[in-house]
Structure 1
Amino acid sequence: MGKDVFERHKQPWKSDEAGTLRTLAGKGKGLKEIARAINRSEESVKDFAKKNGIEILKKR
């Protein structure tokens, strides 16, 4: 099984993507689920969340 391929590289974050990230993180969603919902890589989501003080819960 291959990884998901993302066509976008180094694209600036839009306000609706940031809002969706905050909403899903607030609902306790995991990194993978959030990344798929906004069509961003997990690494991109993790970096953006860290820079903006958004806590993403780790799924067990």
Structure 2
Amino acid sequence: MAAERFERHKQPWNGEEAGKLRTLAGKGKGLKEIAKALGRSEESTKDFAKANAIAIAKKR
């Protein structure tokens, strides 16, 4: 299985991305869906959300 590529790999988060993360998380979107929408890895998205006290819904 080929590794998925992320355009923003190791790039700092900007205000627009942070706002979009807050919006999507507020709508109850899951980590995988948010990460894909932002072009970020799930790990990066989870870490940024945790550092900024943004709750992401747990999807199964």
Common fold by TM > 0.5? yes
Please show how residues 38-57 of structure 1 align to structure 2 within 5 Å. 38-57=38-57
Please show how residues 18-29 of structure 1 align to structure 2 within 5 Å. 18-29=18-29
Structure 1: runs of 5+ lacking an equivalent: none
Equivalent-residue separation in structure 2 for 1:8 and 1:18 (angstroms): 13
TM-score by length of 2: 0.89
| Percentage of matched positions with identical amino acids | 73
Please, which moves more after superposition, 17-26 or 6-15?
6-15
Aligned-residue offset at 1:4: 1.8
Across the two proteins, how many residue pairs are aligned to each other? Answer: 60
Structure 2: runs of 5+ lacking an equivalent: none
RMSD value over aligned CA atoms?
A: 1.2
Runs of 4+ in 1 over 4 A off after TM superposition: none
Please, which moves more after superposition, 2-11 or 13-22?
2-11
Native 8 Å contact 2:7 2:40 kept in 1? no
